[in-house]
Chain A
Amino acid sequence: MSFRERWQAWRYNRIPSHLIGEILTKRWTDNAIPFLALVVTLAIFGSAISGFFKPAALQASSRQLGEFSLVVTGVTVVMLGGGIDLSVGAIFGLACFSAVFVFFIMEQSIWLALAASLATGLVFGAVNGYLVGYLKLRAFLTTLVTLIFGRALFDILVTAYAAQVQLSDAESPILDYIGDGTFLGLAISVWLAVVFAVVTHIALTRSRPGWHVLAVGGSRRSAHNAGIRVGSTVFFTYVFSGLCSALGGFLIACRLSGAGPGTGQNLEIMALTAAVVGGVSLGGGRGSVVKGIMGAIIVLVMTNGLIRLGYGTGTTQMVLGLMLAAAVTIDIRWLKNRHKVLNEVYVAPVYLKMGEAQSAEPDSGTPYELDNRLSAAEHIGLGELEGPEDVILDRDDHLYCGTRHGEIVRFFAPDYKRSEVFAHVGGFPLGLAFDRDGNLISCVGAMGLYSISPERKVTKLSAETARSLTSVVDDARLRDPNDCDIAPDGRIYFTDSTKRYDAHDWTLDSIENRPTGRLLVYDPKDGSTRTLLDGYRYTNGVCMAHDGKSLFFAESWACRVHRYWLEGPKAGTAECVIKDMPGYPDNINRASDGGYWMAWLGMRTPSFDLSLRHPGMRKRMTRRLPQDDWLFPNINTGGVVKFDESGRILDTLGDLSGEAHPMVTSMREHKGYLFVGGILNNRIGRFRIAGADENWTSPASYWGGAK
């Protein structure tokens, strides 16, 4: 091995560069930038202002923060729903005035003042919501007008009643407590803001109305077409925002015991800046309450900090402007380029030197030599089928296969001319197996392990396994369940080919070649799923041995077949029984003579084998070339291989014409015939096996004669 290869093997197999891509797939990376900004802001102002973190100073600013956070929470919800609420400042002011009016002038109880505040917010929010939600006016313009209207009203009222408020001698211990008191060391407004934030967060992430808000914000039209009532959802976001602002206004009324002309002025711009700085996207659908609160803290610390540092008039606006511009630009550029960055870094190929393979060329004299026998297969369902990855026959000789459209299609014996959709599962049904009771078990690509009863009832058996402790991507979810077989005790052994790619991206997995394939077992007794083996290069076909004491499974990108022992001295361990094949193995099934059939989905090529020793080249290839120009495993030729219990190759069948069965992903022997399927094929082949037992069927031989 040359030094270059050693270096490549070390660089690409030891340095976990695939983690960068996996981290970038996480939604929480969106929060990283605002969180970093928050930390930096706190650090700068904390060190620049002496006593910044003193409890007394924090207490004073935290009251303001509580009020402001409430407003920002409301604005965040509106923005998540795809709107914008500029009227928060006006609602804030008016709600403050309502409380002051009821309490100081009408001299009513503080609770009535609170009710008046909330009613103000409710009315304004409902007006906004009605105009924007039901009349579908433009949010920006509409709330701009209600802002002007509310501000004008507020200015009139404050001018008219300011003197009376000054003269009033109404007092209330509750008001003083809300305005100046603390509960468990924190100001009341902070408690309220926290409660509101938590409740809103839970509502948004875990309740139907909250999901509706996010759906409407994410895609209004899709939400409408999905039957969500867009109008009322939008309506309620504005009502909520109105209530939040009103509560903030009530709190400031308690704190200041009055309403001044400046109450709530420019609040809309501050709240908007806070939401955006926190990372809530304009246009809706992306963001969270936590982000809004982070933004609120940043904005408030900045503005208050600058005032306390004694910078002149205008500095606040200057910094707010810079902050808003920077935050929005970063947010937009990040949103826009995140998937590009992800595409660039996600594929992280590893180094692999494949073993020398025996030739599969015709007339080469090896057991692998391909011939043209499969081209003589009769076809079933030609042109009707798309992607019969696996085929299986039941005790009544009917033929089943999965299709690209998420259906299980049944062809009726004896001539297999008629067909029906047996069941619609969704996903892409891949591996199939019948259990003792005649239930059809299927590995459904991108979904999980499913069972279809003879009465066509579809049941999900498993979609997840235990999460491994060190994984970054969610490896509990089954991403590419591929093939399954059932042990005599009813346990279902199945493979999940890769943790890093979805089922349809299997080509990327082949290029990356990272060993992340697993062998899993589902136990029908308690419904649990366990991971038995991990770290194989695309685990594929699974087949129980004839005696039921071990199973064979294929490792596609390494061109190997392993045997996993269920019983006996080697129980729980796997050993490699066939290695360095010239083809990529797929499904494995039992044969009538005690051997096993194995499909080859494609053939190794010297060029791709060489590229596996050049991971850097493959990385550049996926980055710089369009997908059509990528080098990946040759799947234009495949075949069917027969091997015996010891792993010795007995026979190899192929279709050199490339017309009927260029790529084979499965085959099933039944009453002297071999039924052949291919995931990219448009037919099932039926091939007469010379000298095979004409009464042998897989269900009968494995599960016994009777049902």
Chain B
Amino acid sequence: MRGIGWASLNQERIVLGLAVLLFAAAAVGLPGFLAPDNLIAIVRSVSVLGILAFGMAIVIIGRGIDLSMVAIMAMSVAWYLQLLNGGMSDGPAFLLVLAGVVGIGVLNGVLVAYADVPAIFVTLASGSFVFGYVRSQLITQDAVALPQGHWIELFGGVRYLDIPVEVFVFAALAVLTFLFLRFTKWGRYVYYAGDNPMAARNIGMPVRPMQVLRYVLSALIAFIAGLLTAASLHSINTRIVNSNLLYDIVLVAVIGGIGLSGGRGGVRNVLVGAALIGILLNAMTIIDIPTLYQNLIKAAILLSAIVIDGILNPRDEQTAQQGDI
């Protein structure tokens, strides 16, 4: 699958090479880049993005895509905080929101798996719906603040060896996702169904229920990412739904070499993608490039990465899949 002779320069290696080059260049050229604090900041800056990318990766490997993740992440937590601010006790509120999150995941999955609707459209629609419904019906303002002294706030303040808690959650989820994809039966199904859904179905795998499961997982991971965001910022701003974050997630997952056609890639690819983005953002921040230009540079680098991949691994008309966009 990877490293077949002349094509050994695949996307993952290119991106890894770029990341290493950038890291080296930054280490040499930028004062304070190699400081432990800065290295931690790099990881911290990409932890939420990386966590979201794990969920996205699981879905993409199973030949799907989840464009509703950012909406679920922001709106579930916003609703949760609104319920808490409205005086609901913690347990029922959490369970209610959790049920909502799982419900949206199931809805996505059922429409994709059982109604055969393309995942791009289902999740684009459900993301739009989730944002619109929660924003217009359930919450009153764009930003919802965390109630004073709530456990999420305390959780966000946890440090171990000066390393913030997000990094640990990121690492833990990386390990969990890795174990799920590599060593569990359901995790292996993700690859088989992503590589060839018809064949997987023909040999008796529960392809459709597994598809639903993947969308539920990605919704849950989005919820966790939302809670972490709220933990570090003490509030959640629903305007994040309109930002580039969604595209960043897809790119972190895909830039590391997870094929959008499914069946390929894993946690390592997400980590590679997240490393490139993290180092890039950090280096640019140190050099003091404005955020607007950072977006431009990021986009240019991503563009060159996929162009190089396209040149090195050209698609063939005879083997390309119909309707594969």
Contact = CB atoms under 8 A, between A and B. Distances in A.
Interface of A: 82-84, 131, 135-142, 144-149, 151-153, 155-156, 159, 219-221, 224, 230, 265-266, 269, 272, 276, 282-284, 311-325, 328-329, 332-333, 336
A324 to B, nearest CB: 4
Nearest to B142: A313
Interface of B: 111, 115-118, 120-122, 124-137, 142, 242, 244, 247, 250-251, 254, 260, 292-293, 295-296, 298-300, 302-303, 306-307, 309-311, 314-315, 317-318, 320, 322-325
B117 A156 contact: no
13 contacts: A82-B322, A131-B310, A149-B303, A159-B292, A230-B317, A269-B124, A272-B124, A283-B323, A312-B136, A317-B131, A318-B132, A320-B128, A328-B122
Given A151-B244, A155-B295, A314-B135, A131 B318 contact: no
Contacts of A152: 292-293, 295-296, 298-299
Most buried by B among A159, A219, A329: A329
B299 A149 contact: yes
- Give the dominant DSSP class at A's interface: helix
Given A321-B127, A325-B125, 10 more contacts: A138-B324, A140-B120, A141-B254, A149-B300, A220-B317, A314-B135, A314-B136, A317-B131, A321-B132, A329-B117
A151 B124 contact: no
A315 B302 CA distance: 34
A283 B322 contact: yes
A325 B129 contact: yes
B317 A283 contact: no
Contacts, number: 166
Contacts of A276: 121
A320 B130 CA distance: 11
A136 B130 contact: no
Most buried by B among A219, A220, A224: A220
A317 B132 contact: yes
Given A138-B324, A230-B317, A325-B125, A318 B133 contact: yes
Nearest to B309: A137
A176 to B, nearest CB: 32
Nearest to B140: A312
Contacts of A153: 296
Contacts of A314: 131-137
A140 B131 contact: no
A151 B131 contact: no
Contacts of B310: 131, 135-137
A313 B136 contact: yes
Contacts of B307: 131, 135, 137
A141 B250 CA distance: 9
Contact of A321 (B130, B244, B250, B298): B130
Contact of B251 (A82, A139, A145, A220): A145
A142 B315 CA distance: 14
A333 B115 contact: yes
A305 to B, nearest CB: 15
Contacts of A142: 306
Contacts of A284: 323
Contact of A324 (B128, B298, B322): B128
Contacts of B260: 138, 140-141
A328 B135 CA distance: 24
A369 B115 CA distance: 59
B128 A220 contact: no
A669 to B, nearest CB: 54
Nearest to A326: B125
Contacts of B126: 321, 325
Contacts of B324: 138
Nearest to A158: B292
A594 B130 CA distance: 84
